[in-house]
Amino acid sequence: MKTRSYIILVIALVLLPLVALSAWGLHLLLEQEKETQLQGIEEKTRSIALAIDQELADAEGALRVIAQTDHMHREDFASVYALMKRTITTSDSWAVIYDGNGDMLAHTHHPFKSQLSEPSNEWVPAAIALQKPSVSNLREGRAGKWKVVSVNIPVTTSTGKKFLLAHTFHANHFTKLLHRKDMSDTWVVGVFGSDGITIARNLREKEFTGTPVKPQLFDASVNQWSGRIENFTRDGFWAYNAFTHTSRANWTVAIAAPMSEINRSARTATLYAALALCLVLGCAVVGITIFARRITGSFNLTLAAAKALELGGIPQPKTSGVLEADRLQRALQEAGIKLTEENQARKRLEQERERLLHSEQEARRLAENQNTAKDEFLAMLAHELRNPLSPIAAAAELLKLAGKNEKILQQSSDIIVRQVGQLKSLIDDLLDVSRVTRGLVVLDKNKVDIISVVSVAIEQARPLIEARGHDLHLHMRSSHAAVMGDETRLIQVVTNLLNNAAKYTPQGGQITLTVEAQAYEVKLSVADNGIGIEQELLPHVFELFRQAQRTPDRSQGGLGLGLALVRSIMSLHGGRVEAESPGKEKGARFTLYLPLLGTGHGETDLTDESLGASIAPVRLMIVDDNVDAAQTLANLLSAKGHSVVIRNDAKSTIEYSQTDPLALYILDIGLPDMDGYELARRLRKSSATANATLIALTGYGQTHDKESALAAGFDDHFVKPMDIEALDKILASKSPLGFEDTVSHSDQASEHHIG
């Protein structure tokens, strides 16, 4: 049988069942596409219902907080009015206080004690009688000016009187919520209450708000929590109508999507699928036909090509039963054997050539790298030895000039002895430079004063700085700051940075060395106004043997090892180094960060000029059952010059404050014996601390948490961790309460100029 006959038979056996299955599949696709869109509409109704529930929950939460305040229990409606006006009043919502008879006592859109009237308030006693939060259906607003809904909280005061707090929303509030949802412009979205009256609508809202919905939709919402129906809408079209209820109120959210739109979309998708299927089937038929014709022709062409390549000794192929295929097998077998042998031989030759070429390139690269590494190492060695040799040479010159000046002789001798020790240490390290750059050097760590390190480093770098006529400005913003480290290595780091600045700054430049202590680390920076660092080189300045293009004015520059050693040594100390430069000819800054070493419980090794120098001292108390957190914050505030008392429970706080009141209290909310809200209320009631500043410090930062803090009497609310800058502003604005002793700083910031 010929190939063409096989192909025709395959077409008949495959295409006919495929067409039948495709038709059934398209029908299923149509239904599935429509169902998918309807499920999307149902998801959208649930999303809107959740958004409405969130609005109502927020309103109820705010009312609950206000209802629990002392002002409300004491019937201090002026204070309650002020709190409601500040926290829950917007342009389209307001708060109202009703008495048990339904009379309006306060309305936050009107001044307090205004003459207010609201007709038909029979619903108020009923809402109070529920003795639980409730949400109203749509009703007339005050004087019938607009349609409103409200979230209601009944309250019984300490005198036994009953009142109702209501957070009232204009119906337009929920209409705006509907407009924020991403939906088709043709969909009608509505919200109606348990009475079937429309509360909000995205289309024609002025016409239909306050009117009943279609009976068919209302009946379905009564019988089911959620579902869908088909009905003729009030907007004049047939629609698929999906609905669901809200959880906070017995309201229903409904979306009406035109049937024509949903069906058209489904039909369009199905039509595209049908067209694609027809196109595939058509292409298959055309392709098979062309392929059948080409197979016969290709057999003859391949046979002719195979015979042209034939050299003899052809093995007999197996018979396939197809005449053209048998001929193709014989021709391809004859040509294939020879082509395979030739290809294998050619591939072996190419692989061998690639191997030899790669070996040659690798050997050349290795030789170049080794030669470069040798030159760079020798240059680096000379660069590093110059650092201690400079002060030795200067001291030797002083010895020539000193005569019998014992002081100069002693100083010069000390310099030489110290620098010879440094020289020996550097030589030992440079003999094993690979250990240093890989971080394998063992540090001799002890308590080190950074100020001492800076002094020695300046001494080592001074000859080069003076030789190039630079001005060195020294800003000591901490009189002493201790770290745990290897003093020799740290001196080496600072000296490298100073020498680096001196070398790459033109004659008569400016170099600034700044030392300051931050909360947990010491910051040391060396800045210059020299040639700067190009942006392309900046990310690589700490890599081994990396430097900018050498120019004549940089004849004293190193070959890149100095900064690599700086980064390696800082890493071994648990610190870091950063480089920054605005660009070429704009100077550079290198900054070191080292962990600060504490000197004892509740003390620190430094007094920072920036810590509280401009803030008058304040007596304050930190109340927190987390001892470490309280002590850490107290240490920081003490360093800023303030007087801090720590207590870990409410009882001891109250007892201490009765005999020695303070100006400011920072209270944790989650205390073991009494929460921070109650503690704040008691401090406010006490005459000794009634005027103190109370700050809430808590891990909870939602809106209702802040409202609870303000209602309890707090002046400010902070979320952990404490915002120190904001706290400084509060401390700066407070007058000290009973602070009789002035705070003295024995370690004041200093600023020096060398040049």
Q: What is the pLDDT of residue 117?
A: 65
| Of the candidates 106, 397, 25, 49, the residue with the CA atom closest to the CA atom of residue 251 | 49
Q: What is the mean pLDDT of residues 149-170?
A: 94
Correct CATH for 399-595 of 2.40.240.10, 3.30.565.10, 3.40.1350.10, 3.30.360.10? 3.30.565.10
Residues of the chain with CATH 3.40.50.2300: 619-738
Rounded mean pLDDT of 651-676?
Answer: 92
State the average pLDDT over residues 576-590: 92
Residue scoring higher pLDDT (45 or 359): 45
Evaluate whether 699 touches 720 at the Cβ level (below 8 Å): yes
Mean pLDDT calculated for residue range 714-742: 70
| Percent share of the chain, pLDDT over 70 | 77
**In this predicted structure, what is the pLDDT of residue 412?**
76
Structure tokens at 30: 């149509």
CB atoms within 10 A of CB 709: 26
- What pLDDT shows up at residue 557? 44
CB atoms under 10 Å from CB of 346, counted, come to 10
Q: Residue 689 and residue 664: Cα distance in Å, rounded?
A: 9
pLDDT in tens, 475-492: 877 666 889 999 988 998
**Average pLDDT over every residue of 106-127:** 82
Diameter over CA atoms, the chain: 123
pLDDT tens, position by position, 489-532 = 899 899 989 999 999 999 999 999 999 988 789 999 999 999 99
Q: State yes or no: pLDDT of 421 exceeds 80.
A: no
pLDDT at 146 over 50: yes
Pairing of strands 576-580, 162-170: unpaired
What the block records as the tokens of 108 is: 């936050």
Residue 35 confidence class, pLDDT cut points 50, 70, 90: confident
Give me the pLDDT at residue 479, please: 61
d(C-alpha 95, C-alpha 106), whole Å = 8
Angle CA 572–574–575, to nearest 5: 105
Please give the pLDDT value at position 380: 56
Confidence of residue 302 (pLDDT cuts 50, 70, 90): low
Delimiting residues of CATH 3.30.565.10 domain(s) in the chain = 399-595
Q: pLDDT band for 611, please (50, 70, 90 cuts).
A: very low
C-alpha span between 186 and 486 (Å, rounded): 75
Residue 599 pLDDT > 80, yes or no?
Answer: no
Q: In CATH, what number does 619-738 get? A: 3.40.50.2300
Mean pLDDT calculated for residue range 295-309: 59
**pLDDT confidence tier of residue 93, bands split at 50, 70 and 90:** very high
More confident residue, 511 or 296: 511
In this predicted structure, what is the pLDDT of residue 513? Answer: 94
| pLDDT number for residue 610 | 36
When mean pLDDT is compared across 147-151, 251-255, 412-416, 570-574, the lowest value belongs to 412-416
Mean pLDDT of 424-441: 58
Average the pLDDT over each of 46-50, 152-156, 587-591, 604-608 and give the range with the smallest value: 604-608
Question: Comparing 100-104, 324-328, 462-466, which segment has the lowest mean pLDDT?
Answer: 324-328
Residue 755 has pLDDT above 90, yes or no: no
User: What is the structure's pLDDT at 297?
Assistant: 55
Q: Which residues contact 213 (CB under 8 A, 6 or more apart)?
A: 190, 192, 196, 197, 198, 234, 254
Predicted confidence at residue 132, as pLDDT, reads: 93
Average pLDDT over residues 136-141: 88
Distance CA 159, CA 131 (A): 17
Mean pLDDT for 232-248 is 90
Exposure of 144 by Cβ count < 10 A (0-12 exposed, 13-18 middle, 19+ buried)? exposed
Which CATH number is associated with domain 62-174? Answer: 3.30.450.20
So what's the pLDDT on residue 529? 94
Q: Mean pLDDT of all residues in the chain?
A: 80
Percentage of the chain beyond pLDDT 90 is 35
Q: Which residue has the higher pLDDT, 187 or 269?
A: 187
pLDDT band at 568 (very low <50, low <70, confident <90, very high): confident
DSSP letter at 60 equals: H
> Is residue 662 pLDDT above 90, yes or no?
yes
**pLDDT value at residue 387:** 63
pLDDT at 158 over 80: yes
Q: How large is the angle between the packed helices 323-402 and 450-467, nearest 10 degrees?
A: 80
**The pLDDT value given to residue 244:** 94
> Where are the CATH 3.30.450.20 domain residues in the chain?
62-174
Higher pLDDT residue, 541 or 269? 541
pLDDT at 408: 75
Question: What pLDDT, on the 0 to 100 scale, is given for residue 140?
Answer: 84
More confident residue, 334 or 198: 198
pLDDT at 312 (0 to 100): 58
Residue 252: the pLDDT is 95
Q: What is the mean pLDDT of residues 731-754?
A: 44
**Identity of the highest mean pLDDT range in 296-305, 379-388, 398-407:** 398-407
pLDDT of residue 300: 57
DSSP letter for each residue of 652-696: HHHHHHHHS--SEEEEES--SSS-HHHHHHHHHHSTTTTTSEEEE
Dump strand ranges (E) for 603-654. 619-623, 643-647
pLDDT band at 422 (very low <50, low <70, confident <90, very high): low
Tell me what pLDDT residue 413 has. Answer: 80
